């Protein structure tokens, strides 16, 4: 285990965790996209993949500014979330229901990332690292927009289609 004795060391540790999370998502997002029935959802996952590559570059840029290496830690939380996504893909579901489940899995990832980026941004601000905080905030806002887009896809179409495929309503 790493000994962390300063807020800056904690920030660097968080950045390493986020870097690992984002690199895991670069591998997972194409699998989520491939499993989709909905073209809109597939497109959303593809666009977020490109965005995620930019997130990795930002973390690398931040770590360079802090004279730190972004590698060296595995994000166990993201590993668990990715495994949950794999379970969803492997489940025996109708396509509309699978799309609804994929959105749920993706939103759990987004919520984790929103929490991680928000925390790292707060620590950067506290340390007076305003450029770092601004870069983290850019990614935080992109993660929030992705979450909102997934919510809109779910509420406006995919969950509706999944519910229409059911034989009887659930009480």
Q: What's the pTM?
A: 0.92
| Residue-range domain boundaries for the chain | 7-160
Which superfamily, per CATH, for 7-160? Ferritin, core subunit, four-helix bundle (1.20.1260.10)
| Amino acid 165: pLDDT | 79
| Amino acid 166: pLDDT | 61
Per the listing, tokens 């850019």 go with: 138
Q: If we measure between CA atoms, which residue out of 87, 118, 120, 119 comes closest to residue 105?
A: 87
| Amino acid 168: pLDDT | 45
pLDDT digits (tens, 9 = 90+) for 14-73: 999 999 999 999 999 999 999 999 999 999 999 999 999 999 999 999 999 999 999 999
What is the rounded CA–CA span in Å between residue 31 and residue 53? Answer: 16
* DSSP E strand stretches across the chain: none
């Amino acid at each position: 285990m790493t000994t962390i004795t300063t807020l800056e060391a904690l920030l660097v540790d968080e950045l390493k965790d986020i870097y690992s999370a984002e690199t895991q998502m670069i591998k997972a997002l194409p699998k989520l996209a491939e499993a989709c029935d909905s073209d809109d959802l597939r497109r959303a996952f593809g666009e977020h993949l490109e965005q995620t590559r930019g997130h990795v570059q930002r973390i690398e840029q931040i770590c360079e500014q802090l004279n730190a290496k972004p590698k060296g830690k595995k994000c166990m939380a993201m590993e668990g979330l990715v495994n949950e996504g794999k379970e969803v893909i492997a489940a025996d579901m109708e396509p509309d229901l699978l799309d609804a489940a994929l959105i749920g899995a993706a939103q759990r990832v987004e919520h984790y990332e929103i929490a991680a980026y928000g925390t790292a941004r707060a620590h950067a601000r506290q340390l007076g690292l305003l450029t770092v905080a601004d870069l983290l905030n850019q990614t935080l806002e992109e993660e929030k927009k992705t979450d909102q887009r997934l919510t809109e896809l779910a509420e406006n179409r995919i969950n509706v289609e999944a519910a229409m495929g059911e034989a009887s309503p659930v009480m």
